[in-house]
Amino acid sequence: MIKLGVIGTSWITKMFIEAAQKTTAYELSKIYSRTIERGENFLSTLSTNDVSIVTTLSDLYTNIDAVYIASPNALHFEQAKAAIEAGINVIVEKPAFSNPTEFAIIEELLASHPDVRFFEAARHVHQSNFKIIEQTMGELTQLQGATFVYQKYSSRYDAYLAGDEPNVLTREFSGGALYDLGVYPLYAAISLFGTPRAVQYLPTLLRNGADGKGTANLFFDDYNVTLLFGKSANSYLPSEIYGLKETIVISNIAELEEVKYYDGEGNADTISEKVADNPMIKEAQDFADIINDPVAQHEHYNQWFQLAKQVNQTLFDLRQSAGIVFPADELQN
């Protein structure tokens, strides 16, 4: 049983805990929170009570096997670094780190701790419907790119409009649309199409210099992939992958509830499977399989690590193209 500690007390942490428990591979051991009261309030929403609430990383990183990190983006690096130094496996919510400098430091640290595994929690690429999309793409007559859409009005945007500065919408915490919802279509694009030869990001900036929404263009030799994402408006457009005459239509590139294949005559066939109630179960199981048997699962681990590394680099390149600078970039220089 993997003794699990968590950082963060939001809905996504609760979802991962429930997913981990459903795999039966994990045992929730500790919750890290800034205050005991906040941690206890979060614990009261869970179906387990035999859990310690801690307020320091040193207490968290004692007698656990893995930590799930779902704090604000800018805090991921130091928290993951401390975990690896303590010999703890790391599962960090996307995006893992603010820039390639941070990623390189973590990669070097992992090399000196060969028994520790690092994972970026991009849940959709682990789901069965994503594998179906990947397989169907291989059957297209000629691949001609894609348009991926993930735009959802943020629950924190009203606070921003009222004059507040929510962490998720500030550069100080490595936030904004690209480093939140934009990670989903970007992860899908790089996983399915590979590394683009060039990128361009056209953001709509907020008053604080962070991006509220935007369009990212990924340029490949024979086609382009366009990503539309944002936190300041809602979109109900599906995502599409283009063959010659065929098209794969995805209801939501992050949730993957329904996937349809349209042949050259416009006839549609639903090719997706029913999604699990909790979309994080598959990634939690994949991570547990690697932690429990790293030798047998080395190929999968290396594949996901390299994918995370490339996504991190492309996020940075897109930001650079738009002139968006995070304080974390300056701190690492």
- Asked whether residue 327 is assigned to any structural domain, the reply reads no
247 and 129 in a single domain? The answer is yes
pLDDT level of residue 235 (50, 70, 90 thresholds): very high
Phi, psi of 66 (to 5 degrees): -150, 150
pLDDT level of residue 48 (50, 70, 90 thresholds): confident
91 and 146 in a single domain? The answer is no
The string of pLDDT tens digits covering residues 259-295 is: 999 999 999 999 999 999 999 999 999 999 999 999 9
Q: Which domain holds residue 81?
A: 2-121+280-313
**Are 122 and 96 within 8 A, CB to CB?**
no
The pLDDT assigned to 309 comes to 98
pLDDT level of residue 332 (50, 70, 90 thresholds): low
For 302-312, what is the mean pLDDT?
Answer: 98
The pLDDT assigned to 311 comes to 98
Question: Is the pLDDT assigned to residue 46 strictly greater than 60?
Answer: yes
For 202-212, what is the mean pLDDT?
Answer: 98
136 and 242 in a single domain? The answer is yes
- Asked whether residue 179 is assigned to any structural domain, the reply reads yes
CATH code of residue 55: 3.40.50.720
- Domain C-terminal end among 218, 252, 270: 270
For 174-202, what is the mean pLDDT?
Answer: 98
116 and 168 in a single domain? The answer is no
pLDDT > 90: percent of the chain: 98
Give CA–CA dist 140/246, Å, rounded: 7
- Domain C-terminal end among 212, 235, 270: 270
Give CA–CA dist 276/222, Å, rounded: 36
173 and 307 in a single domain? The answer is no
Strand (E) positions, 220-300? 224-230, 239-242, 247-250, 259-262, 268-270
192 and 308 in a single domain? The answer is no
For 306-322, what is the mean pLDDT?
Answer: 98
Q: Which residue has the higher pLDDT, 48 or 282?
A: 282
pLDDT level of residue 41 (50, 70, 90 thresholds): very high
Cα 166 to chain centroid, rounded: 19
Phi, psi of 173 (to 5 degrees): -105, 25
pLDDT level of residue 331 (50, 70, 90 thresholds): low
- Asked whether residue 66 is assigned to any structural domain, the reply reads yes
HSE (CB half, 13 Å, CA atoms) of 314? 29
Question: Is the pLDDT assigned to residue 10 strictly greater than 80?
Answer: yes
- Asked whether residue 32 is assigned to any structural domain, the reply reads yes
The pLDDT assigned to 330 comes to 86
- Asked whether residue 328 is assigned to any structural domain, the reply reads no
CATH code of residue 234: 3.30.360.10
56 and 86 in a single domain? The answer is yes
- Asked whether residue 228 is assigned to any structural domain, the reply reads yes
- Asked whether residue 321 is assigned to any structural domain, the reply reads no
Give burial (CB, 10 Å; 0-12/13-18/19+) of 301. Answer: buried
164 and 131 in a single domain? The answer is yes
3-state secondary structure of 281: helix
134 and 252 in a single domain? The answer is yes
Question: Is the pLDDT assigned to residue 241 strictly greater than 90?
Answer: yes
165 and 234 in a single domain? The answer is yes
The string of pLDDT tens digits covering residues 74-106 is: 999 999 999 999 999 999 999 999 999 999 999
3-state secondary structure of 261: strand
- Asked whether residue 75 is assigned to any structural domain, the reply reads yes
For 238-254, what is the mean pLDDT?
Answer: 98
**Are 210 and 176 within 8 A, CB to CB?**
yes
22 and 130 in a single domain? The answer is no
42 and 145 in a single domain? The answer is no
Give CA–CA dist 30/41, Å, rounded: 14
Our count of domains for the chain comes to: 2
Question: Is the pLDDT assigned to residue 205 strictly greater than 70?
Answer: yes
Buried b or exposed e, range 67-77, using 16+ CB within 10 angstroms: bbbbbebbbbb
Compute the mean pLDDT over every residue in the chain, rounded to the nearest whole number: 97
Mean pLDDT check: name the lowest of 43-47, 76-80, 93-97, 300-304: 43-47
Q: Which runs of consecutive H residues, i.e. helices, occur in the chain?
A: 11-23, 36-43, 57-60, 76-85, 100-111, 128-137, 157-161, 183-193, 281-292, 298-322, 327-332
Query: Can you give the pTM of this predicted structure?
Result: 0.96
